[in-house]
Structures are given as C-alpha cells and as structure tokens.
Structure 1
Amino acid sequence: MKSMMYFLIILIFIASCVSNPLPPSFPKCNRKQADFDDCFSKAVADTISQLKQAYPKVGIPSLNPLVIPEVTIGAGTSAVQFTQNFKNIKITKLTDFTSLKAKMNFDKKVLYIEAEYPEINFDFEYDIDGKILMLPITGKGPGLMHTEQILLKLTFNLEESNNHYKVVQTKAIYDKIGHFTIHFDNLFNGDKVLGDNVNNVINENWKDVLVDVKGGYEDAGAAVFHSIFNNLLAQVTISEIFAVDKQVVNRKKCLCQSTILCLLRSSNMVPILVVLFIGSCLSTPLRTSKYFLKNLAEQNFPASSFPKCNRKQADFNDCLSNAVAVTFRQLKQPHPEVGLPNFEPLTLPQVNIAAGTTAVHFSQNFKNVKANKLTEFSSLKAKMDFDTNILNLEIYYPELSFTFDYDVDGKILVLPIKGHGTGSMANKNTLVAITYHLEEKNNHYKVVNTEMMYTKMENFHINFDNLFDGDKALSDNVNNVINENWRDVFNDVKSGYEEAGAKVAESVFSSLLSKVTASELFGEP
C-alpha cells in the first residue's frame, strides 16, 4: 500500500511538472533555486491538498476518497492466518496531513517523501476465512478501519533515459502508527455475539495483528504505485517535471512539488493498509552451525584422526563433506589442542534473546544451555569456493535436544508467562544451512560474515518447568498452547536465535582459524 502511495504521489509530481497539462493551481519549483527542497515540500503539500477532486486530464485521482477496486493480501506468518480479499476500498483523510517533507536527490536519482497524518480511515468489502490470533474467523460483508498518528516514509529510486524518469524500485515504511481499530460486519453469518467477540480480540491485540501483515500490504501497495507512477513518468519529461530555465519560480508556484505531495497523500493511504501487515521469524540452533564450521577448518589440523583434503583434487567438495562429517562425529570428546569443544553436549554458559514482535513478548534469558545430538546428523554437505572464499555447510538432523535454565516474564501468544527454573526443547527433522564469508591474508583465513538459515524443521516441543511459581495447571496450559502453536512461536524468534548463534559460532571458528594456516586447512593453492 505504501508503494501505491508513492506511485500516486510521484504521478502527481510528474503531472504537475508538465507545464501544459498540469492545472495552473499546482505550484512548480526550479531545481536550480537555493531553497528547492523547501519549495518542493510546500509544493507537494499544496498539490495534495487540492486532490479532494480528480484531475483526469493529468491522470490524478481524487484522494478524498481514494478508491481502490480490489486488493488481495496473503496470509501472515503468526497472528493473521488467512488471505485477505478486499474490494471497493475507500480511503479518506489522505489530504489532511499535518506535515509533509519532500526531497529529490538529482545525483542519486532518489525521491524521498515523509508525511504525518493524525488519522486515516478505510471502508471496504471483505471476504475472509481462516484464523486470527488462534481464533477462527469467517465471513463476508462491509468493514471499516480507523488509524491514528501515522508517519509514512517513501523512497523512489529512479533511472533516467531520453529525458524521462522511470521508477526501478520503491520502498515504503510505515514508520509509526499510534493506534488502529477495525470492525468486520456480518462475521459468522451475522452471529453478533461471535462477531463482537472476535472484533474485540483483534482490537485488544491490534499491535500483534499490525506487525504480522505489514509486509504484504507494503508489497501490494508498492506494485500499485510502481505501475501508476511509471505510467505517468512515461508521459512527462524530466524538463517538464523540474524547471531548468533561468527564472527561479516563487515557492507558491512550485508546480512539480505540489504534484508530488498529491501523490504522497495517496500513498499515505497505502501505508495505513500496510499497518495491518507485518511479519516475523525465529531460529535456535545457530551456534551449532558455527561449531560445524570450526570442525571443517580443523580437518587439516594436528588432530591426527581428522581427515584432510587437498583443494587441487578433482573430488575436493566430496572429500570435504566426508572429512567434515568424520570430524564432527569425533567431537563426542573435546580436542583442546585445536580449540574444539565437546559437542556431546555442547555447553553454552549464557544466551540472551530479545523479545519477538508478534507471538513472543518477552526477553529470553537462558543459562547453562546444553545442546545434544549435534554429532548425530543423517547427512552433511560441505562446499568451499576458493574464488569467492565462501564456505557452505548443509546439515540434516533427525533430532536435536536442548536443556537449560530459564528466566522469563511477559506474554506469549496473548497469554501471560512468568517463571524461572529448568526447561527442555526437542527439534525434529531439522535442516541447517550455514554460509561463512572468509578473507585470506598471510596464509590465514578470517571470518568476516556468517549467515545461518534454519531452512526446515518439522516439529519442536518445549517445556518450561516451574512456571507461575509451580502452579501446575497454569504451567501445563501455557506449555500446551505453545506446543500447539509452535510454528507461530518458532517464526517470531528465529532471527534473534540466529544472531546469537552466529556470534558464538564466529568466535569459536575465528579462534581456530587464527591457529591454523590456509595451507594446513586445504593444502597449497
């Protein structure tokens, strides 16, 4: 939706710069004037304020209301588990912003717009069927949404050819939204009790809903505005958009700027829809993956039982995969001479993970973490690209298990959770992909960046002992809800676990690389 706003704004901007077709009331600015950005901002604001009516001759629609025939948004990943089908959308208050800033960077060909709205309203027809916040939701009929205190930021990346601009990329950020309420009429075939209950739950947890669907709305809006703005740019030359004559026009005459503002308002409407969509993610075994990398490096180390491969052999990657696998399986005991710890179990003194954005609303503080079954993978592939200095690992585990001491206090899946004690987690059929970006200097490798993806996990089960000061009924209920909705929990904290694990793995692998030369690892180049 934000992208759509961007496009509308840009369309207006371009149209206003076209001296002949643009309405004379649209201000215009000269790119050579010293106060161009100020003039441009005021011009865009002035233009958008005039869009309470349409200007069909220059392809600019009315922004009060802005009418969108149809929008389809895919399901979210946690709170919103249904496809959103909206028709006959009418957005109002897009011309009623309280502040607007516009800036054009002619060297980089980037247009920036930032607009703040006290409120934006949406009316629509909907057709939905799925789950929201773990509750079933189904129905079709009219609906409305009211949003407050919205800050919309748009960025258009342009390219120039034959005196015309073209949008090559559009980004929209719903930087702030103070509050929103939504109401779906006629849910559950008109059952008022059920309908009111679901609407109330949505509005009580509006931030969770908002976070889960932002990305989908941004993508939809971007596609709409990209198309509209490019269509307008194809009809208007750069010279018409930004005057280049010697005369510096008065700010009140900044035709081009006002045009952009009009478009901005239209884009604001998009960001509001965007507010409904945001996504999240999560993953736990990153540390494991980094230790795997260390093992790879150690294949050529002094430990005599570690296999070694030469980079010049034709089957090097097959040899490397086998060598890493053999080395890994030997880590049921530590190898202090090369700095490799015991992997059965792999012990981490402390791990702190920040709160998620949807399902997990608390910081996770774990101590005495022990990871088991890291040497019991069913397949392992390793590949080293010596041209790019990138090492890739892919490891498949039938099962991984973890024990830990925990201390948590917050909310999970809309439920309160509080306690400290021992806990355990088991993951099944897990595929871990690890990428190490290396640099070579003085016959030594160094890790400059590490990426880890939890590309597959079929199930995980977690249990927190002693929740709520040992209240078994409450503890069992919360643990059951978490495990019944494990995908939502998993997706919300993946990135936090990946970052924490990457730091641990990088520290260990870097320590090992500092002791072993590149020649010892992979033979002479």
Structure 2
Amino acid sequence: MKSLVLCLVVVVVFGSCLKLPSSFKKCDRRSTNFNQCLSKSIHGALTSLEKPLKSHGLPSLHDVLFPPAFGFEIGNSTYGLKQKCGNLRLFGLSNPENVAARMNFGPVVSTLTVETTYSELKWTAEWEVQGTMVLLPLNVVTAVEAILVEPVLTIIFDLEEYEKGGTHFRVAGTGIDLQARDFVIDYKRLFSNERLNREFNSALVEKSSEIFAMFKHLEKIYAPAFGSMLNGFLEKVPVAELFDG
C-alpha cells in the first residue's frame, strides 16, 4: 500500500513512474548475453512504433516529420542555384530487418550504440530552387523523393544519469552514421518539360554515390532530432524499469 501511495505521489509531482510497455523487453545488465537481449528489445520497440506511444513520449517511426528547424539551404541565386529544402519526412524506421545494439555503462556517461539495417528508407521533402542552371532560369518549388537502398543506420547516444523521483537517463549527445548500397533521387517537377525532368533524374541516379557523399555532412543536423525522440521516452521511464541489475 505504501509503495502504491509513493508511486501516485511521484506521478503527480514528477509525471513519472511508468513501466516499460509490454512490447519492450527488459534486459539484465549482469547477463553475459545482455547486448543480444538489448538488440532484440530495441528491434521489438522499433517495430511496435508503427503508431505513436504517446503515454511513453514516443512518436510513430513509420512516418517521422522533422520540425522546420531541420531544413537547410545551399548555394545562392546570384552565381548559380539557391536551393532550400524543407518539410522533411523519413519513412520506414519502424520496419528494421536487423538490429545490433550494445551498451557501455560508465560511472558518469554511458554509451548506447544502435546499428539498424533496412531494406530501404524513404525521404520526402519540398525543394525550392531559384537561380540559373547552365543558362536555364529556374524558379520552382517541387516535391522530391529519395530512396535509400539497403541502408545501415548507426546512432550513438551518450547518456548521463540524473535524479527525478528515481534515477533516469537523458541524452547528452548524439552521433549518426548512415550508409547505403544505393541512393535514388526523384524530383517530381523540377522542370516543366517532362522528358527533361525524367532525364535529369536518370542522370542523378548515375551519380548517386557522389551525391550521397555530398550530403553526408548533413547527418549532424539530424542527430539532435533522434536524441530528442529518445529523451521523450527516458524522462518518463526510470533506469530501474529499463534494466535489471
């Protein structure tokens, strides 16, 4: 009875005391197969997030909409093309083929590394272009779709502990590495001439590896978004509910 009263007090004061959802597997950090258990647990968590789990601060990972702050601009219209990318969405994070996770517990900062493989991930965005492409004036806003074929997404979370009605983790830093076997871009209406638009997209496919490398530095822009998603969960679920031991 006392523990129930204590839990109710914590809920009122801190909004915490939540247990793991039934689709999440709790692992024992003392076990020799802890990382294998953690990998299975995270795989189950990802697949269960086809829809959001609002009670635990987790959004849907089927369709992730990034806030406006995560758009970007490149180039300028005076000497070439000014390109502005916004309304970014990432589809497919809830459909992993495999997850390999490991957790290194430290006295101050612990590190969670999650390597996830997919058959494909899809980005969509709104692409605004102003300027001149080889003497051809452009002033257009078009939808663009990018397919990552057989991508491997590795996210590293640095976690620090703090007290809030119990011990919790929070994300102190996030790093991302994204690799893919292929990268296909499709601008839906960059040019009014359909044939020109089709041929342009075809030329992009031929240079997909170079284009992918050009945009790889943008990974650091999106890293905080993944950290924020995890934080929404960690602030609601104490460490004692995440792991045994």
Tell me the TM-score range normalised by the shorter chain: 0.7 to 0.9
Q: Does 1:337 align with 2:55?
A: yes
Cα deviation for residue 434 of structure 1 reads 1.3
CA contact (8 A) 2:59 2:229 kept: no
Percent identity over the alignment is 26
2:182 corresponds to 1:459: yes
Deviation of 1:416 after TM superposition, in Å, equals 7.4
Distance 1:332 1:435 in 2: 22
Match of 2:206 in 1: 484
Q: Which residue of 2 aligns with 1:61?
A: none
Is 1:353 aligned with 2:72? yes
Deviations 1:454-510 (CA, angstroms, capped at 9, x unpaired):
1x3111111112214x232332233222221111211111112x1221121122222
Separation of aligned partners in 2, 1:349 and 1:519 = 32
Counterparts of 1:400 and 1:495, CA distance in 2:
18
Shift, 1:304, TM fit: 2.1
- Structure 1 residues 502 and 412 mapped into 2: Cα distance closer, same or farther (>3 Å)? farther
Show CA shifts across 1:306-327 (max 9, x none).
2111212221111000010011
**Secondary structure, in 3 states, of the residue corresponding to 2:66?**
strand
Provide, for residues 32-78 of structure 1, a one-character-per-residue CA deviation record: whole Å limited to 9, x for no partner.
xxxxxxxxxxxxxxxxxxxxxxxxxxxxxxxxxxxxxxxxxxxxxxx
- Quote the Cα distance in structure 2 between the aligned partners of 1:355 and 1:514: 36
Picking from 34, 47, 53, the partner of 1:316 is 34
- Rounded Cα–Cα distance in structure 2 between residues aligned with 1:518 and 1:384: 13
Q: Matches of 2:211 and 2:139 in 1, distance apart?
A: 16
Read off the aligned partner of 2:200 and give its amino acid letter. Answer: V
Q: Does 1:447 align with 2:175?
A: no
Tell whether 2:116 aligns with 1:395. yes
**Consecutive unaligned residues in structure 2, runs of 5 or more:** 1-17
Change (3 A) 1:501 1:411: farther
Query: Residue in 1 aligned with 2:4?
Result: none
Q: Is the 8 A contact 1:467 1:474 kept in 2?
A: no
Q: TM-score, normalised by structure 1?
A: 0.38
Equivalent residue number for residue 376 of structure 1: 95
Give the Cα–Cα distance (whole angstroms) in 1 for the partners of residues 36 and 134 of structure 2: 44
Q: Give the corresponding residue for 1:365.
A: 85
One-letter amino acid of the structure 2 residue matched with residue 333 of structure 1: K
In structure 1, the partner of 2:6 is none
- Residue 392 of structure 1 aligns with an amino acid whose one-letter code is T
- Paired with 2:139 and 2:186, the residues of 1 have a C-alpha distance of 13
- Letter aligned with residue 71 of structure 2: N
Contact 2:46 2:96 in 1 (8 A): no
What secondary structure does 2:119 align onto?
strand
Q: Give the C-alpha shift of residue 395 in structure 1.
A: 0.9
Separation in 2 of the partners of 1:513 and 1:451? Answer: 18
**1:418–1:467 contact (8 Å) kept in structure 2:** no
Question: Unaligned 5+ residue runs, structure 1?
Answer: 1-299
**Local SS of the residue matching 1:389:** strand
Q: Secondary structure at the match of 2:22?
A: coil
The correspondence for 1:508, drawn from 208, 229, 240, is: 229
2:216 to 494, 511, 521: 494
Question: What CA deviation, in whole Å up to 9, does each residue of 1:247-277 have, x standing for no partner?
Answer: xxxxxxxxxxxxxxxxxxxxxxxxxxxxxxx
Count of aligned pairs:
218
| Partner in structure 1 of residue 143 of structure 2 | 422
**Secondary structure class of the residue paired with 1:321:** helix
Structure 1 vs Structure 2 CA RMSD: 2.6
**1:347, distance to aligned residue in structure 2 (A):** 2.7
Structure 2-normalised TM-score? 0.79
One-letter identity of the residue aligned with 2:177: M
Mapped partners of 1:444, 1:397: distance in 2 = 30
Q: Distance in 2 between matches of 1:412 and 1:481?
A: 15
1:261-272 aligned at under 5 Å gives the runs none
The code of the aligned residue for 1:330 comes to S
Quote the offset at 1:361 in angstroms.
6.0
CA distance in 2, matches of 1:452, 1:412: 33
State the alpha-carbon separation in 1 of the partners of residues 214 and 135 from structure 2: 13
For the structure 1 residues 446 and 465, does the alpha-carbon distance in structure 2 shift closer, same or farther, using more than 3 Å as the test? same
Alpha-carbon distance in structure 1 between the residues aligned to 2:180 and 2:94 = 18
* Cα deviations by residue, 1:200-233 (Å, 9 ceiling, x for unpaired): xxxxxxxxxxxxxxxxxxxxxxxxxxxxxxxxxx
Structure 2 counterpart of 1:222:
none
Shift of 1:419: 2.2
Within 2, Cα distance between the matches of 1:312 and 1:412?
Answer: 60
